[in-house]
Structure 1
Amino acid sequence: MGSTTLKTLLMATSILATAGFAHAADTTLTIESWRTDDLAIWQEKLIPAFEAKNPGIKVKFAPTPPTEYDAALGARFDAGSAGDIITCRPFDKSLEQFKRGNLTSLNDVPGMKNFSDVAKAAWTTDDGKDTFCVPMASVIHGFIYNKDAFDKLGIAIPTTEAEFFAALDKIKADGTYIPMAMGTKDLWEAATMGYQNIGPTYWKGEEGRAKLIKGEAKLTDPEWVEPYKVLLKWKDYLGDGFEAQTYPDSQNLFTLGRAAIYPAGSWEIGLFNTQAQFKMGAFPPPVKNAGDACYISDHNDIGAGLNAKSAHPEEAKKFLEWVASPEFADIYANALPGFFSLNSTPVKMADPLAQEFVSWREKCKPTIRSTYQILARGTPNLENETWVESANVINGTDTPEAAAKKLQDGLDSWYKPAK
């Protein structure tokens, strides 16, 4: 063997050795998600921040379109090809994956102590023993309003139900603006921006929700019927043809400056900031009487879990520990104004509208949408039925009492509270 051949061989061996060494040193974690719109935020902000602190661990964000995510993820779990980190939808879809053994209990992740029970509710077993996803963000309900319209008409931010309707009357009498932009055609809008937005004020948030699940309250009780009575009064302020108005129509009416108030989810903030040519503000759901406790729907939206069959469980846990940290909370919430951190360490929001929404946590009691945990598992599905009845009440085709009775009868047909 000539010396050149020997040299080449030695060189090849040393290159292979370094390649082997590099391979052993770097672990790549893959994140599964339905948030295709978050790709840039992960690539430019989140992943570099984690990798800088954790040399040797590389992270790849690999999203699937939202409509395909659940089916595709299920297929990848079955095939053993799912990513290491699983972005978790709230409640039953993720609970199902945990029960199937696809997600791991994360009780021992140190950062889990940074989250309240309400924050963890969407990713905790019914008995409260295991939490299987780190809470990442929630969305908050309330009302976004056109500041220019309010200033022009001399309207102060309403804090009580009476002030709210007085403001709507003033806007209606002036005639320049549709008082409130909401339609009933898409059904879910009436329930999510209507019933679930103002309802916690009447059923006392978590207290009422827990009673419903335990069977100690019924949807026909006064505190569950009353929000429908209030929604029925909204009908006069929604503008002509609201029955045919879709969700995008409502968004456009508001951002084009044609409506003064928009019953909202905080996820609108990013879009509205780019489209509205006027100053915006926000206020929480008005209380019934001055001095009453205020409640907000602060609804768990997204979490992160660990694939039970991940080849890199220790590295993946390190990543999840970081997702549970105030640093992640700060970067994520500010990159996506309107998707708020669930971390107990408050995040200061750079966006003023987002800061307004999140400030309500200091003074109002948080709860989640009443239909999402446990009560939407049977047929008829209480969540979907609530969409239908919320629209029916506003359209005037069902009375608040008739709507409540339909919902309770449907629930009674399959739900037996655990005794």
Structure 2
Amino acid sequence: MRKVCSALPSYKLACFATLLLAGMAQASDTLYVESWRTDDANIWSDTIIPAFNKHHPDIKIQFSPTPPTDYNSALQAKLQAGSAGDIITCRPFDASLQLFDSGYLEKLNGLKGLEDFSDVAKSAWVTDDGREQFCLPMASVIHGFIYNKEIFEELNLTVPKTQDEFFKVLAKIKSESRYTPLDMGTADQWEAATMGFQNIGPNYWKGEAGRKGLIDGTAKLTDQAYVDTWKELAKWKPYLGRGFEAQKYSDSQNLFTLGRAAIYPAGSWDIQTFNNQADFEFGAFPPPVLKQGDTCYISDHTDIGMGINTASKHKEAAKIFLNWMASAEFGELFANAVPGFFPLSNHSVAIKDPAAQTFISWRQQCESTIRNSYQILSRGTPNLENQLWNVSAQVINGTMTPEQAATETQQGLEQWYGPQQ
């Protein structure tokens, strides 16, 4: 267009008018963000988008969430119809990998912002061979234990650092108070695996080394590390509430917010709920190590990523937005707007919420890993993640031994996963 305008002086005015209109159209381009985080709509409109537009006022952002239960199917339908947004909020691992393999997510190799993330952070959105990155890591959740500070003060308890100290604290709460020592139920099963097995387990299987060992076949679920994890879970039973077998996740949340339980096996996402509902001060501690001096490991689980729709007409603008999302500025904004969801970048961020700050501080003390059933190992039948739910709940209930749990999950993996056969 510029060459035409210079070549034909008599048409310069008309050409410049056309260029001006084209520039105005480009300036009004809008990036639409697909997400399942319906609760975050006001955070995007009030915090994230205004902060981004201070740097890039010409790129407009429209946050368009879908209810979480409908997100996967709705997104798939939109992508197939060619009506999906420019930015795709990515579930971790296989759900997004399938979108990439189907050609719906842009390859992000070379995106500058990715330089600020570790391999562990990027692992949820990379191909099995580690060569292709298809989503930018956005946020993780961290596992540990949340405790009622008032109860600890009342009973003169010290936050436990080792497994032995942990069980001494539980025993004292049980013998000297009316409070439930450990607040978790097994009715929904997933808590037994997510806040139980995946919470304490990394200290046994040594985080990423153990997780990767299951993937490459050099480790098995019948190894002592896994049997010992279930043995510790079995020891939780005497300290759980009366009728815990029928206790659901929401029941556990209510019990803790009412001040009737001392320790809550947690995911950091619970911080927001307790901030809103509890009228007492609570703190957090990481999974106690097996013995004094051991390296500690935490489940710092990749939860949310951001990708680019391959059909987007605004890919360059989308890359600018993703690079900004990799910045310390975005990480700090998001972490403070949504306490309990933590930036995955290597930047140091200041978090105002005291419990959230405690959780993220463990990254400086401990080695980070992710849930060991999420990458590759839950693709077949039986699904390892679902098996872990079931056997972990049974071990806590006392209806299955740790050895039986190990044998059942290992045999399940061997039925379909080559490296374990």
Q: CA RMSD in A?
A: 1.6
Give a deviation string over 1:108-127, Cα, whole Å, max 9, x none.
11110000000001001111
Matches within 5 A, 1:337-356: 337-356=339-358
Give a deviation string over 1:333-363, Cα, whole Å, max 9, x none.
1100100010101111100000000000001
Of residues 67, 71, 84, the one that matches 1:65 is 67
1:282 corresponding residue in structure 2? 284
Q: Is it true that 1:100 corresponds to 2:102 in the alignment?
A: yes
Tell me, in whole angstroms, the C-alpha distance in 1 between the residues paired with 2:80 and 2:164: 55
Give the C-alpha shift of residue 55 in structure 1: 2.4
1:6 corresponding residue in structure 2? none
2:9 corresponding residue in structure 1? none
Out of 307-316 and 23-32, give the one that drifted further: 23-32
Tell me, in whole angstroms, the C-alpha distance in 2 between the residues paired with 1:60 and 1:16: 27
1:3 corresponding residue in structure 2? none
Give the C-alpha shift of residue 324 in structure 1: 1.1
Of residues 253, 256, 264, the one that matches 2:255 is 253
1:85 corresponding residue in structure 2? 87
Which residue identity is paired with 1:40?
Answer: N
Conserved? CA contact 2:284–2:355, under 8 Å: yes
1:207–1:17 distance in 2 versus 1, CA, 3 Å: closer
2:269 corresponding residue in structure 1? 267
1:8 corresponding residue in structure 2? none
Which residue identity is paired with 1:339?
Answer: F
Tell me, in whole angstroms, the C-alpha distance in 2 between the residues paired with 1:25 and 1:115: 31
Look up the SS of the partner of 2:49 in the other structure: helix
Give the C-alpha shift of residue 129 in structure 1: 0.5
1:12 corresponding residue in structure 2? none
Tell me, in whole angstroms, the C-alpha distance in 1 between the residues paired with 2:90 and 2:241: 38
Out of 274-283 and 157-166, give the one that drifted further: 274-283
Give a deviation string over 1:270-312, Cα, whole Å, max 9, x none.
1101111111010000000100000000000001000011011
Matches within 5 A, 1:4-403: 22-403=24-405
- Runs of 5+ in structure 1 lacking a partner? 1-14
Which residue identity is paired with 1:248?
Answer: S
Which residue identity is paired with 2:249?
Answer: Y
Look up the SS of the partner of 1:334 in the other structure: helix
Give the C-alpha shift of residue 175 in structure 1: 2.7
Aligned residue-pair number: 406
Give the C-alpha shift of residue 16 in structure 1: 11
Look up the SS of the partner of 1:327 in the other structure: helix
Give the C-alpha shift of residue 24 in structure 1: 3.4
Give the C-alpha shift of residue 265 in structure 1: 0.2
1:317–1:17 distance in 2 versus 1, CA, 3 Å: closer
Give the C-alpha shift of residue 52 in structure 1: 1.8
Conserved? CA contact 2:269–2:341, under 8 Å: yes
Tell me, in whole angstroms, the C-alpha distance in 2 between the residues paired with 1:274 and 1:298: 24
Which residue identity is paired with 1:265?
Answer: G
Give a deviation string over 1:367-418, Cα, whole Å, max 9, x none.
0001000000001000001000000000111100001100001100000129
Look up the SS of the partner of 1:224 in the other structure: helix
Tell me, in whole angstroms, the C-alpha distance in 1 between the residues paired with 2:236 and 2:207: 21
Give the C-alpha shift of residue 22 in structure 1: 3.2
Give the C-alpha shift of residue 25 in structure 1: 2.2
Give a deviation string over 1:214-249, Cα, whole Å, max 9, x none.
111110110011110000000000011000000000
Look up the SS of the partner of 2:161 in the other structure: coil
1:417 corresponding residue in structure 2? 419
Which residue identity is paired with 2:65?
Answer: P
Which residue identity is paired with 2:28?
Answer: D
Conserved? CA contact 2:104–2:310, under 8 Å: yes
Which residue identity is paired with 2:287?
Answer: P
TM, length-normalised to structure 1: 0.95
Conserved? CA contact 2:335–2:343, under 8 Å: yes
TM, length-normalised to structure 2: 0.94
1:401–1:418 distance in 2 versus 1, CA, 3 Å: closer
Look up the SS of the partner of 1:303 in the other structure: strand
1:83–1:188 distance in 2 versus 1, CA, 3 Å: same
Give the C-alpha shift of residue 162 in structure 1: 0.4
Which residue identity is paired with 2:319?
Answer: K
Look up the SS of the partner of 2:103 in the other structure: coil
Give a deviation string over 1:18-43, Cα, whole Å, max 9, x none.
87753332210000000000000000
Give the C-alpha shift of residue 57 in structure 1: 1.0
